[in-house]
Copies of this chain bind each other. A is one copy, B any other.
Amino acid sequence: MIWVRISRFTSHSNQLSNEFLNRFELTIAQFDVLMQVRIHQPLNQTELAEKVTVTQGGISRMLARLEKEGYIVRKQDWKTKSIRLTPKAEAILERAFPEQSAFQSSFFDEVLSEEEQKTLYALMTRVHKHSLRKELPPE
């Protein structure tokens, strides 16, 4: 019951974020990846995949698209590929980041008090961390 609520909310708010990011010609998945690169660059694909919770294969395809669009460059660096933003992506993120941040927070601060937001964050953190340790039940 909680689970369904959370997942319907996530799917709906992803749709809204996609619509919103449209004005920067980005999708939410691309924005997410670019932000992680911005924070941690230079980094390799394996590290990035972990940060955005996607498989190696998934990140490989995503980066191929982002490279084709000129948002990132991949340089074979010893045995891994090191990823960096292009100036084009830096410029877009500089405008998009504060706006997308504000949009995301508005989902919560338009309807919950500061106190309630803290509670929600704390509860979700516990649930999330627990899920990372979780094993599948036996057959």
Which residues of A does B touch, CB under 8 Å? 1-3, 5-14, 16, 19-20, 23, 53, 103-108, 110-112, 116-117, 119-121, 123-128, 130-132, 134, 136-137, 139
Contact = CB atoms under 8 A, between A and B. Distances in A.
Integer count of this chain's copies in the complex: 2
Contacts of A123: 112, 116, 119-120, 123
A17 to B, nearest CB: 9
A116 to B, nearest CB: 6
A36 to B, nearest CB: 11
Contact of A120 (B2, B132, B137): B2
Contacts of A3: 13, 104-105, 107-108
Nearest to A100: B3
6 contacts: A1-B121, A3-B108, A5-B121, A112-B123, A120-B124, A123-B123
B13 A137 contact: no
A59 to B, nearest CB: 14
Given A112-B126, A120-B123, A123-B119, A131 B9 contact: yes
